[in-house]
């Protein structure tokens, strides 16, 4: 890995997921605790910044009343509407303080669905910056992380999924995604293993 050609994409590290009182925090807290997600994600973020890796944040938000979502939503988006999560301008939609972007980091605008590439200029930004390797962490492991992983793979990026920087609704879903789906479309690595590969590339 070349540090200059590598980016870290942080998906939906927003209060509604990450923080007590968030609309969907209780649903993901158990898996977050098991993976040590927030602790590992913060360590990853600090290390990426120190190494000069491109850091991108991909929050999701919806206007009041969820006009961007079908009138009769189903699946994961029905859960978002039912929980009244990720409302634009709300505390819940804010990126958690410990993961908030700093000056010079990119916040991807326009995410309204699962795949970070689908309704944003993410691909344009990555290609303009010469990024070839994309490491992904965030929520939900088997939803937005997996959708984005597949899309990045299809676009020819070398994809890393950060196994200890992800969480979803149950241990069974986490295990299935990490052990069965991630290896088909990415290199599943812990954040420590990813950083070690970066450092090895810097030496070589």
**Strand bridging mode 54-58 / 187-189:** unpaired
Phi-psi region of 111 (alpha: psi -120 to 50; beta: other; left: phi over 0): beta
Residue 90, domain CATH: 3.40.50.850
Q: What is the CA radius of gyration of the chain?
A: 16
pTM of the model: 0.95
Which range marks the domain in which residue 128 is found?
A: 3-203
Q: What is the pLDDT along the chain (204 residues), one digit of tens a residue?
A: 899 999 999 999 999 999 999 999 999 999 999 999 999 999 999 999 999 999 999 999 999 999 999 889 999 999 999 999 999 999 999 999 999 999 999 999 999 999 999 999 999 999 999 999 999 999 999 999 999 999 999 999 999 999 999 999 999 999 999 999 999 999 999 999 999 999 987 655
Q: How many domains does the structure of the chain reveal?
A: 1
């Amino acid at each position: 890995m070349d540090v200059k050609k590598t980016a870290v994409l942080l998906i939906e590290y927003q209060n509604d997921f990450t923080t007590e009182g968030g609309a969907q925090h209780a649903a993901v807290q158990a898996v977050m605790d098991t993976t040590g997600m927030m602790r590992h994600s913060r360590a990853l973020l600090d290390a990426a910044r120190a190494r000069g890796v491109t850091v991108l944040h991909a929050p999701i938000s919806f206007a009041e009343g969820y006009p961007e979502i079908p009138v009769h939503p189903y699946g994961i988006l029905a859960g978002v509407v039912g929980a009244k999560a990720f409302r634009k301008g709300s505390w819940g939609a804010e990126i958690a303080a410990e993961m908030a972007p700093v000056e010079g980091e990119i916040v991807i605008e326009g995410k309204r669905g699962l795949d970070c590439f689908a309704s944003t200029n993410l691909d344009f930004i990555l290609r303009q910056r010469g990024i070839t390797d994309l490491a992904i962490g965030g929520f939900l492991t088997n939803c937005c992380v997996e959708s984005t992983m597949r899309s990045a793979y299809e676009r020819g990026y070398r994809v890393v999924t950060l196994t200890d920087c992800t969480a979803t609704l149950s241990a069974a879903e986490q295990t299935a995604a990490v052990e069965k789906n991630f290896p088909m479309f990415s290199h599943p690595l812990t954040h420590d293993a990813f950083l070690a590969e970066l450092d090895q590339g810097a030496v070589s």
